[in-house]
Amino acid sequence: MHPIVIVGSGLAGYTLLKEIRKRDTSTPVTLVTADDGVFYSKPNLSNALAAGRSATALAGASAQKMAADQQATVLTHTRVTAIDTQNQRVQTGSGALDYGKLVLALGADPIPHGLSGNGTAAVLAVNDLADYAVFRDALDGKKRVTVLGGGLIGCEFANDLVHAGFTVDVVHLGAWPLERLLPVEAGRRLADGLAALGVTWHFGRTGRSVESADAGYRVTLDNGDMLAADVVLSAIGLRPRTQLAQAAGIPVGRGIQTGRLLETGAPNVYALGDCAEVEGQNLPYVQPLMVQARALAATLTGTPTPVVYPAMPVMVKTPAHPVAVLPPRLGASGGWKVECGDTGICALHVDDNGRLQGFALTGSETGRRNTLVKELAA
């Protein structure tokens, strides 16, 4: 009997493995990963600095321990290079592997920053534990950090860095942070909260080049402004890893396309987590991948179970001014109704009939999220 082969040891791959084992201890499972297979929780990467936690402190169980605990084979430092969907076989750097079912849990890649100049090789992105170790080494003894991107990850790193005593500039193309998730009032409040801690914002700007200068770097913006930095962190977004699937003829859009059973366009091939586009939606957060992993484990062990998402607010880890957001569905009618209090913003997205479609809460208003989630569920 060929095993279930899971590709990827991020939260999606390992959560699926654990969920399979809760239901079935006998089906052979092989997890293949390009990295060292150490278990860790990725959201911790953007709030570990102020808490004084190193990359080593963030590392959980080793690949060997995960394999033993979950009665699985875990192949580390093994990249899958091709999928033969006809013969149900994957090619890796160290040989071929037959599968009964194949699950792609490949994650997402940082979007290239596109800067020019002789300092580009030093621009960092933090998307896994190994990146985080490099980032921490780069920060050692340094003072000034330029963050490119004021989305969720950029804001979280800015808060963590400034809290840990660094001088932080954030360069953001939008007119306010998280502009695709938050109405302007909520975004401005978040920006103000971070500015009060010492973050300097450069809205409506992108980085053009990065050059070595004075033992650090000079980042030149598209309007000619120059920022001095010891470390440059790019957080301009992630894009699902689709190349492997695409090369195998599996349909991809923004992510690897699946239906509600998480099956791709190829027989016995499934996808979940950051790499997946489930019925047109790519949701690169932890809660959706947990829901997906539970449903897929049931499907793979004999009970076909479609993914049904509950209302899933996203918490932005910016203690300077916390944010809880549940964006309305794409194309939802209606608009934002915003109430601004002294200590937070409550923005409700309501449709033309006054029904709640989503929300954005900041500061003290984040305490209302559970009540609103219940209202949405009803």
Ligand X SMILES: Cc1cc2nc3c(=O)[nH]c(=O)nc-3n(C[C@H](O)[C@H](O)[C@H](O)COP(=O)(O)OP(=O)(O)OC[C@H]3O[C@@H](n4cnc5c(N)ncnc54)[C@H](O)[C@@H]3O)c2cc1C
Tell me which residues touch ligand X (CB under 6 A).
Answer: 7-13, 32-35, 42-43, 45-46, 79-80, 105-107, 126-127, 153, 241, 244, 273-274, 284-287, 289, 317
| Closest CB 119 distance from ligand X, rounded Å | 22
| Closest CB 289 distance from ligand X, rounded Å | 6
| Closest CB 101 distance from ligand X, rounded Å | 16
Tell the burial category of 378 from Cβ atoms under 10 Å away from its Cβ (0-12, 13-18, 19+).
exposed
The CA distance from 254 to 368, in Å, is 33
Which two three-digit tokens encode residue 355? 């029904």
| Closest CB 111 distance from ligand X, rounded Å | 12
The CA distance from 235 to 30, in Å, is 33
Shorter beta-carbon distance to ligand X: residue 10 or 119: 10
CA-wise closest residue to 30 among 66, 6, 61: 6
Shorter beta-carbon distance to ligand X: residue 94 or 118: 94
Shorter beta-carbon distance to ligand X: residue 46 or 258: 46
Shorter beta-carbon distance to ligand X: residue 76 or 209: 76
Tell the burial category of 122 from Cβ atoms under 10 Å away from its Cβ (0-12, 13-18, 19+).
middle
CB 316 within 8 A of CB 190: yes
The CA distance from 162 to 330, in Å, is 34
| Closest CB 208 distance from ligand X, rounded Å | 25
Shorter beta-carbon distance to ligand X: residue 162 or 350: 162
| Closest CB 81 distance from ligand X, rounded Å | 7
The CA distance from 181 to 250, in Å, is 30
Shorter beta-carbon distance to ligand X: residue 107 or 183: 107
Which two three-digit tokens encode residue 101? 């079912």
Q: Are β-strands 167-172 and 238-240 bridged in parallel, bridged antiparallel, or unpaired? A: unpaired
Shorter beta-carbon distance to ligand X: residue 191 or 244: 244
CB 264 within 8 A of CB 256: yes
Distances (CA, A) of 215 to 165, 208, 293, 341, 346: 20, 20, 47, 45, 45
The CA distance from 376 to 359, in Å, is 10
CA-wise closest residue to 227 among 299, 137, 290, 146: 146
Shorter beta-carbon distance to ligand X: residue 128 or 365: 128
The one-letter amino acid code at 243 reads Q
| Closest CB 60 distance from ligand X, rounded Å | 13
| Closest CB 241 distance from ligand X, rounded Å | 5
